[in-house]
Amino acid sequence: MYETIGKGSFGKVKLGEHVSLGLKVAVKIINREKLNNSKNDARIKREIQAMQRLNHPHIVRLYDVIESKTHIFIIMEYVSGGELFNTITTHGKFSEPEAREFFQQIISAISYCHQSKVAHRDLKPENLLFDPKTRTIKIADFGLSNIVDDGALHHTACGSPNYAAPEVISGNQYSGPEADIWSCGVILYALLTARLPFDDPYIPTLFRRIREGKYSMPPFLSNEAKDLISKILVCNPVDRLTVKEIRMHSWHRENLPKYLEVTADVPEETKSEYSERAINEVSLRMKVSHTQILEDLEKSQETGLNGPYTVAYHLVSDSLQLGRDVKDASFSYKDSNSRFSAAIDEISSSPAMNLRRVPPIYEDGIRREIDKTRKISEDAPVAPLKKVWYLGFLSAHHPLEIFEKLLVALKKHDFEWKVCGNYQLRCRNILKDGNQHPLKIGIQLFSMPQNSHSSSSGNLKKKIHLLDIKILEGQMFDFYEICLKLSKEIPSKKE
């Protein structure tokens, strides 16, 4: 291992090199002594678990994890340019074509994360790595990430306050993907202006501005860019643009590379089609047979633990894949660099930037700031933490009774279903003559927090369940219609 290229709460990140291949890697070295409580230990495990799920050209790849009694070594893809934050602070704001190119990559990666049921929860330029040679952005640092179940809500207030969504800093339950989208809007604003839309050294004032959604839009931005930002930085997460809607926006679609046009599918757990060129390279460098490499790849896929030849294969494959992707996407480094130079020329006349490094605040810190804000800010009080917002049908009946009524109702209204998990269904209506577009919905039953609801007398607390229904495919009118029908047949909250 070579020099230190980064520092974190629990250790350092050093530059490493694969001995046989000569390819560089980043090695995060975590000192177990600094993981002094179960929360920190769980955070590291979540980071590893999230990265193991992800394989995308704009997400830093996890190659291997090595554990000893005193340290954990997380071996990851190395990105030569470092943080996007440093690039912005050095060069200033980007032109719209430049910012668009980077934002398209970020949105593609976040879309893939959410498909893979991973919410990042700390998106900011400091956690985006930039390779200037290939003009590639890669999302890094999944330390605050979490696995997202369909319809599930988070309650942990975390992340960097300037990039955090209103629902996060208000202490309410929130959806991880929707909070990520807000952060993407702040990042886009920073790319285009080298400023933060919400910034104040006094945290209660900062929180108030975020909750109110008050920020100024620079006059030099195009109308399309202003329109996109204004539709992402919406305080109500229900009204905020989704990833799909962002991808359809005219500003985002301009000059969209071919490889980013289609959302990357989450890979199935089936036998992969391995790169013959990468296998040949590993075989040559490490002096092993193709059979040994393939056996190691198959074993790693079965166990989830990467063997030495699997690590080498992914290193070589990523190195080759980057060149192929760039070529297939019709990128020209020469053209890109000329546009980059033009953007730098434009910067010289731009106003001074105020972008600054923002450290993350973890749950306890944000809770303290929320409490301070409640006491100090009389004109914009925060909703009490015990208040829970929900979408769906509430019922105090037994889960089995709720699902029994639900299945009867679904069958009555010509729906078929597949069980995806405990009290979780994917449903579609049976096609009738002339109907070529079935309605597909997802249904899941949740237990609501015990302190969320009480009886009408306000004395006895009851076990309340929430039946969440969301549209997966089809017409919104048909979705509303079936929701209305089901609401009449599902046993409601007992009096």
Beta-carbon contacts of 192 under 8 Å, excluding residues fewer than 6 positions away, are 93, 94, 96, 99, 218, 221, 225, 229
* Residues with a known catalytic role: 122
Instruction: Give the Cα separation of 446 and 421 in Å (integer).
Output: 12
Residue 6: in which H helix or E strand, if any? strand 4-7
Name the DSSP letter for residue 160. -
Provide φ and ψ at 74, rounded to 5°: -105, 115
Q: Are 426 and 442 in contact (CB under 8 A)?
A: yes
Q: State the pairing for strand pair 393-395/465-473.
A: antiparallel
214: left (phi over 0), alpha (psi -120 to 50) or beta: beta
Name the DSSP letter for residue 165. -
- Residue ranges at the known binding site for ATP: 28
> b/e for 238-276, b at 16 or more Cβ within 10 A?
eebbebeebbebebbeeeebebbeeebeeeeeeeeeebe
Residue 298: in which H helix or E strand, if any? helix 290-303
Cα 164 → chain centroid: 13
Instruction: Give the Cα separation of 362 and 360 in Å (integer).
Output: 6
- Residue ranges at the known binding site: 28
